Structure 1
Amino acid sequence: ILGINLAQATAMTLDETIRWVRSVPKSLPQEMRAMATAICESFEDTAERLVELGLCYLSLDRAGATLSTGERQRVQLARSVRNRTTGVLYVLDEPSIGLHPANVDGLLGVMRDLVADGNSVVVVDHDTRVLASMDHLVEMGPTAGAEGGHVIAQGAVADVMTAPGSQIAPFLRDGGKIHERARPQIDLDAMFAKGRIHLETNTVHTVHPLLVDIPRGRLTVVSGVSGSGKTTMVLETLVPALRSAADGTVSPSSIRLIDADGISKVELIDATPIGANIRSTVATYCGVHDDLRRAFAKTSDAHKKNLKPGAFSYNTGKLRCSTCDGTGTISLDVQFLPDVDVTCPDCHGTRYAQTADDIRLVCADSVARSLPELMLLSVDEMMPLLDFLRPVRSKLATLHELGLGYLTLGEPTPALSGGEAQRLKLASEMGRGQSGSVFVFDEPTIGLHPLDVLVLLRVFDSLVASGATVVVIEHDLDVIANADYLIDMGPGGGMAGGRIVCEGTPETVRACPDSVTGRYLRG
C-alpha cells in the first residue's frame, strides 16, 4: 500500500523520511487516513527535534556506533524530550560540540523544554551563545591546571558579566554575539598572490561535484551547517588529493583534478588522542624528557654512579620504579569487576625508584632538584628553572605559546583533551619554514574557552607567517570571522547541502543572502 518496503524506508535520511511520511495519509484509502495522520504526526513530533538539532542528514539505519560524540548526545537529548520525563537531572558535557550556530538554537530549545517539564539541566560548555542563555552560571578558574579549580563568579548572566574576576564576562556582552576581528584582513584582490591549490571533485556521498580554489599561505576556514559536506570535501577529497600529489601516487577516483605544485607535506591535526600508551607523557612527546635525561647524566651525582642518559628512562632505565614498571600506576584485580588502576604506592605516580631522588640538577634558582620532582611541575613553572638549558627552554616556550603552559610534564598524553592533543601535535612544527606545507585542522576549538580561541588564532598566525597554508573545518564564529578566506558549504545538511554556497572574505559571506553562516556573522 505504501509503495516502499522497510529497508528502503530506513535507508532514507531523516529529511527524506519526513517528506515521505507527510505524503503517506493522502496515498491511503479514506477509512485509513485518520489513523495514518495520527501516526505520522507522532513521527513528525519526534523527527522535528532531531532536525532542530541539525541531524536531518542522518539515515534511519545509521549504526549508533558510527555517530560522533556530539551526534550521539543530540540523539539522546531528542529521546529525553520525547519521553517527557520530570524530576530528572540532566548533565550535558559540551553539547554544542560540532554544532553550527543555526543548530545551537535547536539545542537551546530542547534544554528549555526539559526544564519546562520539571527537569533540571546542568551544562558544561564554552559556547557564549549557550552560556548567555543560561538561568544560572558558575564560572571556574581563574586559569587552567593547578592555578584553577576555584569558583570565580556565579549567578545570573547579568551578575557574571559585572563580576570583577570573571574571565568570560567580556565575551558574554550583547548575548554572546561578539565576533571581533583579531587578525588583519587581506583584500580579496591580493588573496591568491602567493598561489592557489585548485581542486575538482566528482560526487562523493551527498556532496556534489565541486570546483575549489584555496589560497596558499593563508588561513582558509570551511564552514556550514552540520552535514553540509565540510568533512567530505576537506578530509575525504582535499587531504587525499594533496597527499597523492605530494607522493606522486594515483589520486582517488573521487578526484578529477588537483593542482598543488610546491606542496610537499600535508599534516592533519585532529582531536584524536595521542596514542593509547600510558608511558607517553607531555615530556616524552615533545622531546623535553630526552633533553633532561642528558642533562642529569652530566651531573656529578650521575658520574659517581656511572649513570648514562638511558638510566633515566622510566621505560627501560635502571632508575624506573620496579613496582609499577615505570607507568606510575598499578592494576588491581577486583573479582567480578573490571580491573582498577591506582597510583603506585611506592613511587606515588612519579614513575621513578627512590634512588632517582639522589641524582639532582641545580636549577636557575640555585635549588637542586631531582628528575621526578621536575616531572611534577607544569610547563610554566619549569620555564624559569631551566632557562640555562637551551633545548629545553625552546621546547617549553613553544608549549607556552600554544597555551599549554598549565600542563605538567609527566601528564600522560592519552589523558589530554582533544584540543590539548591538537596543540601538542603542533609543538614540533612551530618555528620552522613551512612554505610547502598544508595544515588541516578538524574543529580545533572543541572544548576551548574564548580566551583559548584567541591563543589558537595566534597559532594559526604563526603557521601562516612561516609560509604554511592552513585549512580549518570550523563552526566557531570567532574563528570564522578571523579567516582570510571562507568557503561556506550548504545551504542545508545531507541532500540539501553538498554545494559551495559562498566563498570569499568573511565580509563577502556576511553579505551573502543564501549563507546560513553569513546570517549569524551579521548577528
Structure 2
Amino acid sequence: MSTKQSNCNNAIVIRGAREHNLKGIHVNIPRDRITVITGISGSGKSSLAFDTIYAEGQRRYIESLSTYARQFLDQIQKPDVEFIEGLPPTIAIEQRISPPSSRSTVATVTEIYDYLRLLYARIGTPYCYQCKCIISRQTIDQMIQKIMEIPQGTRIMLLAPLVKGKKGEHREIFKSILQKGFVRARVDGDIIELTAIPKLARYKAHEIDVVVDRLVMKNDIQARLHNSVEICLKIGEGVMLVNQEREKSRADILLSERYACPTCGSGYEELTPRMFSFNSPYGACPSCNGMGNCLDFDPELIVPDKGKSIKEGAIDAWKQWGALTQNHYDNQIKEFAKSFSVPLHKPFTKLPKEARDALLFGRKDFEGVIPNLRRIYEKTASEHILKRLSSYMSYRACTACNGARLRIESLSVKIDHKSIQEIMNLTTEEALKFFTKLRLEGQQAIIARPILKEIQNKLRFMIEVGLHYITLGRSSDSLSGGEAQRTRLAAQVGSGLVGVCYVLDEPTIGLHSRDSERLLRALKSLRDYGNTVILVEHDEHTIRHADYIIDLGPGAGERGGSIVACGTLHEIVDNPDSLTGQYLNQTLKIELPAKRRKINMGHSLEIRGACAHNLKSITVKFPLKTFCCVTGVSGSGKSTLVNDILYRALTRLLYDSYEVPGEHNAVLGTEHIDKVIEIDQSPIGRTPRSNPATYTKAFDMIRSLFARTQEAKVRGYTAGRYSFNISGGRCEGCKGQGIKKVEMNFLPDMYVLCEECKGKRYNKVTLEVTYKDKSISDVLDMRIEEAHQFFKNVSKIERILHTLNDVGLGYIKLGQSSTTLSGGESQRIKLATELSRHETGKTLYILDEPTTGLHFADIQQLLKILHRLVDLGNTVLVIEHNLEVVKTADYIIDLGPEGGAKGGEVVAAGTPEQVAKNERSYTGKFLRKVLQRNER
C-alpha cells in the first residue's frame, strides 16, 4: 500500500474510520482538489464518502444549531470514526436521495423556475385570454358600466378584499373594519356580522373581504354605486369584488384599477410570483390542481388491440359484464353501427376517424364509451366495478390547461410573446439562446438584469454538465439517476458557495464519452472556485483527470474496507497492489470476444414507426439470441426506444400489462420470445426484512429443510415456524428484526441489539432446532460462499447459492438486509435469481446501464453472466455508455446524432467494428480508440 499522503495542513484528516466494513482506515484527503474514491463494488467507497465524511459534516452543522431548531431536523448519528479534522461544510449530491415528487420539474429543482416566476411577475405583459389583446387598467367609469350590465333585479354585494391567503388571527384587520363603520365581512366565503371580533385559526390561511354595500340592480342606483365603488377601491387598494346572486349560487366579478381588458372588461389581479406557481392555489390550474394531468379513461386501454373488429371485442371495456349490462352494451353497439353505417367485422383501426371518435367520446344521439364509463365510475359503490374501471384509466394531459399546470390567466402573461409555459417547453440550450437574445428597454431592463443573470448562469452550468437536451418542464421523476444528480449539482453550483466539500456519487452515470468531458470541466471549475470535490467514481476518464485517487479493497464486504493505494494517477498506476492501477496500465483488461456471434436479422424483434418523444418515426431491428447494445449520446432516445416502447409493448402482449407503450406503429417478431425481464439496480426490497435469501427464494427451501429435521418433526414445527415475518418462531421483542428502534428526544433515533434474542431474530426454543449443528440464525449469518459449501448436498439450494457465488457475491451474508446492498449488488442478485431458473431459451433480458456502481473487475464479472445468458439461447439487450461493455457486443444500435430534438435517429447499426468505422457516429469515434487499444 502507498504510504504517501497529502500535506496535513491543507487536508481532511480521517483517522480510525470503521463505518460498516471500513477497517479503521487513516487517510488525508487534499482540500481544494478533485479526489476520486474507487474500488470494486462493496469495498467501502460509499461508507467512506457518504457515511463518514458527509455524515460527519452534516452532524456538525446540525449540532451547531439550537436545541429548539434541532427538533425539526433529521438527526444524524455520529459515524464510527476516531476523529476528522479540517472538514469544511459538506454537500452530498447522490443519484437518488428520495423519490421525487410528480410536481417537481427540472426548473423547480434548479430554482430556475423561482427566477422565472419573479421575472414574469415584474416585467410580464398580461393579455386577455378571451380577446388576446393587451390588458390595461380600468377607470371607475368603466367599472360602473360593467356593473350596470348585470340584469335588473339581481342582488349584488360590493366588497373590498383585505386579506388573501394569509395565516393568522387578523384581529387588527377586524378592529380597523369596525372603526371605519362597517358591520359585515366575508370571511373564508361566509358572510358574518361583526358584532364582535371573530376568532380565526392562527395557522390557517384566510380570506377576508369587507362588505361595503348591498344593492339590488336598478337604473337609478348610479350615484350610490359610484360612491360605494370609490370606497371599495380605497379600502381594497385599487381592487374590488362584485358578488352577484345567480340561480343556485353566487359569483364574484373582479374589478381593478390595475389590470382589465378594454374589450370584454375582464379583470386581473396584480401580477405576483405566486400567480405563476403551480404549487399554489393562486396559480395552479383548478381542474388538475397544478399536476398537469388528470386520471381519466384512456382510449389506448379501452381498445388495446386496434387490429380487432368491434365484433371480435375491440372495445375491451364493454365486454364480459353481467348478462343485463352486456345485453345493454351489445344493443348500444348495434345502434351505433346502424347510425354510422359501420361494419362490425371491420378492424377498429380501419374505421373512419369520425366513427371511432363518436364511438369512444359520444355525440348528441349516442353517449359513447368513455362518457358511459365516467358516469358509472362516479355513481357506483361497488368495489369490484371500481377496480375494473380503474384498469382502463391512466393519467392524461389536463384538458383545461393542456398539461401546462397553470391558470389560463397566468398563461396569458407573456415576455417577448412567450408565456412561462412556452419557456418551460424549451430545452436548456434553447432557453439560454432565448434569454441571451432577449432585448428589454428602460425600467424593464433595469428590473430584469439581476434576474436574467441568475437564470443564464444556471442554464450555462446545466449545459456544461451535459443537460443541454433536457426541457425545463420535464418532470423530475422521469430523470435517470445520473440526470437527477447533475440537475441537483447545477442547483448547488448556482449558489456560488466557496470553501465547501462536494461529495458526488458517480456523476458520469448516463453520460456518453463525448459529454463526460463537459462534466469534468464543470467539476474543475468547482475546484478552482476554492471547493473540495470528492467523487465516488469508476469512469476511467474521470479517474485519469483526478488530482488524487483513493483505491479501496482489496475485496468486497468483509474482505474490503482497506486502503490499497492512494496518491496521484502516476502512483496508482505504478502500484502493483492496486486493482484499479492494473486496469489503468492495461496489465488487466476486458478482452474482446474470441468470436462474435452470427447475426440473423431474419430472426429479430422489429419496432416500426417509433415516434414517441424525440424519435423520428424510426424502424429498428433487434437481432435475437445475441448480446445487443443500444448506444448514443445523452438524450438521443435510447430509453424511449427500449423502455417506453419495446418493454411496455412486450409486457402488454405477454403479461396483459395496462402500461401504455410509447407511440409506434407495430412490434414484429414477438412470436420468437415467451418472456421479457427488466433487470435494474433498484433495491430487492424496501424493508430490512428483505435479504438475498428471501429474494432468491432460497430461504423458503432452507425453512422447509429445517422443518424436516427429526427434532422439528418431534416438536411439530412447520416451515412457518422459521419465518421472521410472522408470529410463532420469531423473537417478539424485536418482531424478527434482530434490532430495536429507540426514539430519542432531540437526538437521533437509535437502533440497538435486541436484548431478548441478541440479534438472532428467533426465540430460544426455535434456535434449539439445528441442521448440521447450525441454527436458522447461524445460517442467515453465513457468507454466501460459506453457505454454498454448507448446502452443497441439497441440490435446489446449492443451485441458487452457486449462481450467487458465480456472480461475485460470495462475500455478502445470506441474511444481509436489502437496505445495505449497493445498486450493483442488487442487480447481480436479480441476475443470479434468473440464472438459477430453468431456461426456455426464449427470454429477452433488458438492462439499463448495468455498469452503474461497478469497477472494471465487476464489469468483467457482469459480462461473463450476460454472455452466459446469451449462450443459453436468450437475448440480452443493454442500454449502455461504457465502452468496455459496448466493445463486447454482437450488435450495436447507435442513436443520435445529438440529444433532444436533434436526436432520435438511427445513426449506425452493426458489429462494434462496423460502428467504429461510421464517421457520423460519436460512439464509433470513441469505440475506435478502445478497439485499437485492445489490439495492442
Task: Indicate whether the TM-score tops 0.5.
Answer: yes
Q: Where does residue 107 of structure 1 map in the other structure?
A: 519
Find the structure with the greater CA-based Rg: 2
Question: For the Cα contact (< 8 Å) 2:611–2:664, is it kept in 1?
Answer: no
User: Cα deviation per residue 1:231-290 (whole Å; 9 max; x = unaligned)?
Assistant: 100011111222344358998572212112222111111122223243222111112212
User: Cα deviation per residue 1:327-346 (whole Å; 9 max; x = unaligned)?
Assistant: 22323333477855444333
Question: For the Cα contact (< 8 Å) 1:194–1:216, is it kept in 2?
Answer: no
Q: Where does residue 623 of structure 2 map in the other structure?
A: 215
What is the Cα deviation at residue 30 of structure 1? 11
The aligned runs of 1:171-190 (5 Å cut-off) are 171-173=583-585, 180-186=590-596, 190=598
- Name the aligned partner's letter for residue 858 of structure 2: D
Which runs of 5 or more residues in structure 2 are unaligned?
1-414, 930-936
Question: For the Cα contact (< 8 Å) 2:526–2:533, is it kept in 1?
Answer: yes
My pick for the range that moved more, 492-501 or 65-74, is 65-74
My pick for the range that moved more, 289-298 or 434-443, is 289-298
Q: In the alignment, which of 403, 410, 417 is matched to residue 808 of structure 2?
A: 403
What is the Cα deviation at residue 139 of structure 1? 1.0
User: Cα deviation per residue 1:270-318 (whole Å; 9 max; x = unaligned)?
Assistant: 1222232432221111122122222223334334433233222222263
CA distance in 1, matches of 2:474, 2:655: 35
Q: Where does residue 860 of structure 2 map in the other structure?
A: 454
Q: In the alignment, which of 739, 742, 763 is matched to residue 353 of structure 1?
A: 763
Q: Where does residue 61 of structure 1 map in the other structure?
A: 473
CA distance in 2, matches of 1:454, 1:348: 40
Closer/same/farther in 2, CA of residues 62 and 199 from structure 1, 3 Å limit: closer
Closer/same/farther in 2, CA of residues 98 and 346 from structure 1, 3 Å limit: farther
Which runs of 5 or more residues in structure 1 are unaligned?
363-367
Are 2:540 and 1:138 equivalent residues in the alignment? no
- Name the aligned partner's letter for residue 430 of structure 2: E
CA distance in 1, matches of 2:585, 2:686: 41
The aligned runs of 1:435-474 (5 Å cut-off) are 435-474=841-880
Are 2:509 and 1:97 equivalent residues in the alignment? yes
- Name the aligned partner's letter for residue 624 of structure 2: R
Q: Where does residue 833 of structure 2 map in the other structure?
A: 428
Question: For the Cα contact (< 8 Å) 2:482–2:508, is it kept in 1?
Answer: yes
What is the Cα deviation at residue 23 of structure 1? 3.5
Are 2:691 and 1:281 equivalent residues in the alignment? yes
What is the Cα deviation at residue 463 of structure 1? 0.8
Question: For the Cα contact (< 8 Å) 1:350–1:375, is it kept in 2?
Answer: no
SS in 2 for 1:503: strand
Question: For the Cα contact (< 8 Å) 1:139–1:151, is it kept in 2?
Answer: yes
What is the Cα deviation at residue 16 of structure 1? 1.9
Question: For the Cα contact (< 8 Å) 2:590–2:860, is it kept in 1?
Answer: no
My pick for the range that moved more, 82-91 or 399-408, is 82-91
My pick for the range that moved more, 75-84 or 143-152, is 75-84
The two structures, once aligned, show a CA RMSD in angstroms of 2.8
Q: Where does residue 6 of structure 1 map in the other structure?
A: 420
User: Cα deviation per residue 1:75-97 (whole Å; 9 max; x = unaligned)?
Assistant: 23334444443211111122222
What is the Cα deviation at residue 38 of structure 1? 9.4
- Name the aligned partner's letter for residue 690 of structure 2: S
- Name the aligned partner's letter for residue 544 of structure 2: A
Are 2:433 and 1:19 equivalent residues in the alignment? yes
TM-score normalised by length of structure 2 = 0.52
The aligned runs of 1:186-201 (5 Å cut-off) are 186=596, 190-192=598-600, 195-201=603-609
- Name the aligned partner's letter for residue 429 of structure 1: E
CA distance in 2, matches of 1:266, 1:310: 32
Q: Where does residue 532 of structure 2 map in the other structure?
A: 120
Between the two proteins, the alignment pairs up a number of residues equal to 512
Q: In the alignment, which of 676, 698, 703 is matched to residue 266 of structure 1?
A: 676
What is the Cα deviation at residue 449 of structure 1? 1.0
User: Cα deviation per residue 1:322-369 (whole Å; 9 max; x = unaligned)?
Assistant: 11111223233334778554443332333112333322222xxxxx22
Q: In the alignment, which of 562, 574, 577 is matched to residue 162 of structure 1?
A: 574
Question: For the Cα contact (< 8 Å) 1:54–1:225, is it kept in 2?
Answer: no
The aligned runs of 1:286-301 (5 Å cut-off) are 286-301=696-711
- Name the aligned partner's letter for residue 463 of structure 1: L
Question: For the Cα contact (< 8 Å) 1:81–1:110, is it kept in 2?
Answer: no
What is the Cα deviation at residue 445 of structure 1? 1.0
Question: For the Cα contact (< 8 Å) 1:180–1:478, is it kept in 2?
Answer: yes
What is the Cα deviation at residue 32 of structure 1? 9.1
Closer/same/farther in 2, CA of residues 249 and 64 from structure 1, 3 Å limit: closer
Q: Where does residue 365 of structure 1 map in the other structure?
A: none
CA distance in 1, matches of 2:689, 2:816: 10
SS in 2 for 1:522: helix
CA distance in 1, matches of 2:456, 2:728: 66
- Name the aligned partner's letter for residue 147 of structure 1: R
Q: Where does residue 256 of structure 1 map in the other structure?
A: 665
More helix by share: 1
SS in 1 for 2:418: coil
Closer/same/farther in 2, CA of residues 206 and 343 from structure 1, 3 Å limit: farther
SS in 2 for 1:361: coil
My pick for the range that moved more, 246-255 or 66-75, is 246-255
CA distance in 2, matches of 1:33, 1:50: 25
Identity rate, percent? 34
User: Cα deviation per residue 1:361-383 (whole Å; 9 max; x = unaligned)?
Assistant: 22xxxxx2222112111101222
Are 2:632 and 1:224 equivalent residues in the alignment? yes
Q: Where does residue 612 of structure 2 map in the other structure?
A: 204
What is the Cα deviation at residue 37 of structure 1? 9.5
Q: Where does residue 730 of structure 2 map in the other structure?
A: 320
- Name the aligned partner's letter for residue 13 of structure 1: T
- Name the aligned partner's letter for residue 623 of structure 2: P
Closer/same/farther in 2, CA of residues 248 and 152 from structure 1, 3 Å limit: closer
CA distance in 2, matches of 1:483, 1:81: 38
Closer/same/farther in 2, CA of residues 503 and 30 from structure 1, 3 Å limit: farther
Q: In the alignment, which of 822, 835, 845 is matched to residue 417 of structure 1?
A: 822
What is the Cα deviation at residue 184 of structure 1? 3.5
What is the Cα deviation at residue 67 of structure 1? 3.8
Q: Where does residue 306 of structure 2 map in the other structure?
A: none
CA distance in 2, matches of 1:66, 1:485: 28
Are 2:905 and 1:499 equivalent residues in the alignment? yes
User: Cα deviation per residue 1:5-54 (whole Å; 9 max; x = unaligned)?
Assistant: 222112211122133334334xx679999999998677544423211222
Are 2:651 and 1:237 equivalent residues in the alignment? no
CA distance in 2, matches of 1:245, 1:353: 48
Question: For the Cα contact (< 8 Å) 1:488–1:517, is it kept in 2?
Answer: yes
Closer/same/farther in 2, CA of residues 78 and 455 from structure 1, 3 Å limit: same
Are 2:715 and 1:310 equivalent residues in the alignment? no
Closer/same/farther in 2, CA of residues 206 and 342 from structure 1, 3 Å limit: farther
- Higher RCO structure, 1 or 2 (CA under 8 Å, sep 6+): 1
- Name the aligned partner's letter for residue 695 of structure 2: Y
SS in 2 for 1:369: coil
CA distance in 1, matches of 2:437, 2:870: 52
Closer/same/farther in 2, CA of residues 170 and 73 from structure 1, 3 Å limit: same
Question: For the Cα contact (< 8 Å) 1:201–1:237, is it kept in 2?
Answer: no
CA distance in 2, matches of 1:470, 1:120: 40
Q: In the alignment, which of 896, 900, 904 is matched to residue 490 of structure 1?
A: 896
- Name the aligned partner's letter for residue 331 of structure 1: K
Closer/same/farther in 2, CA of residues 369 and 65 from structure 1, 3 Å limit: same
Q: Where does residue 376 of structure 1 map in the other structure?
A: 781
What is the Cα deviation at residue 480 of structure 1? 1.0
User: Cα deviation per residue 1:147-198 (whole Å; 9 max; x = unaligned)?
Assistant: 1111111111111112222111122237x9x9754424437xx311671111
My pick for the range that moved more, 113-122 or 209-218, is 113-122
